[in-house]
Amino acid sequence: MRLTHEIIDTERGLGWSKNAGAMYVLLNNGSTNMWGEKRGYRITLGIGMGTAPHLTINESTAILNAASWAYHDLWVLKHHDHERRSSREYNAMEPESPLIDFEKMVNSERTVQQDLVVYFNLGNHHVPHSGDVPNTLMHTSGSSIMFVPINFHDRDPSRDRVQGVTLTMNTKEVVGGSKVEYFGAKYVEDMNAPLEWLEPDLSGYSTPDDSLMNLSWNSTLASLLEHSVYSSWTESLVRTINWLSQL
């Protein structure tokens, strides 16, 4: 196993490598740390499920040139004041000749020791399923990216931010109250935290009537009427449905 370095010296599009086998780093050749390493920021995948899908327009007959930025995960371009956007909301109106054609912005300009702009492409893939009824939970459709300092500091910066606190609640081992241990910085004044803050009562978020969870059309309407939830709206809706069923 070995590590190789490749300098990206012109504008181009990049993609995430298989098995995270490549690392993209923005370096400042004019600034080094105490070890002689160039300071920079690493561009890396974020955290969460589904990281990191991206929007794609491959073989799209409708988008054409309106969203050329969607061909890659990342783009590194030289900064220009007149290049403020990668697209416009009106691009879809004329996809063959859009108002802003991102592909024309990528014209092989030099990127070494220049002010740069990084465009990154994030998206998610969602296939509807029965778990989306009656509401869709999108917690499995996340996508993110992180900019992480690399060789930016001379040492681990967290060593200068020691503010850990261990709080042991009132138990058999701790007689007479809670036990607080400080690691590093210490608060000037103590704070009493009621147990209710740490263990709130969440019973109000549940319903005692299981029929409200019945997703059949008639049962759901009957439950709403019975509990007087939007009663006037549901009564009108029931009358409309009954009228339609008689047609």
Domains of the chain: 1-158 (2.70.98.20)
The Cα 150–Cα 26 span in angstroms is: 9
The Cα 28–Cα 150 span in angstroms is: 11
Least confident of 79-83, 101-105, 128-132, 234-238: 234-238
pLDDT, one tens digit per residue, over 24-48 is: 999 999 999 999 999 999 998 877 6
pLDDT, one tens digit per residue, over 120-166 is: 888 777 778 888 888 877 766 677 888 999 999 999 887 776 677 77
In this predicted structure, what is the pLDDT of residue 75? 92
**Cα–Cα–Cα angle for 80, 65, 61, nearest 5°?**
160
| Residue 233 or 82, more confident | 82
**Buried b vs exposed e over 94-106: b needs ≥16 C-beta within 10 Å?**
ebeebebebeebb
Average per-residue pLDDT for the chain: 78
What backbone phi and psi angles, to 5 degrees, belong to 104? -75, -20
pTM: 0.62
The Cα 230–Cα 232 span in angstroms is: 6
pLDDT, one tens digit per residue, over 90-103 is: 888 888 888 888 88
Kindly tell me if the per-residue pLDDT of 11 is higher than 90: yes
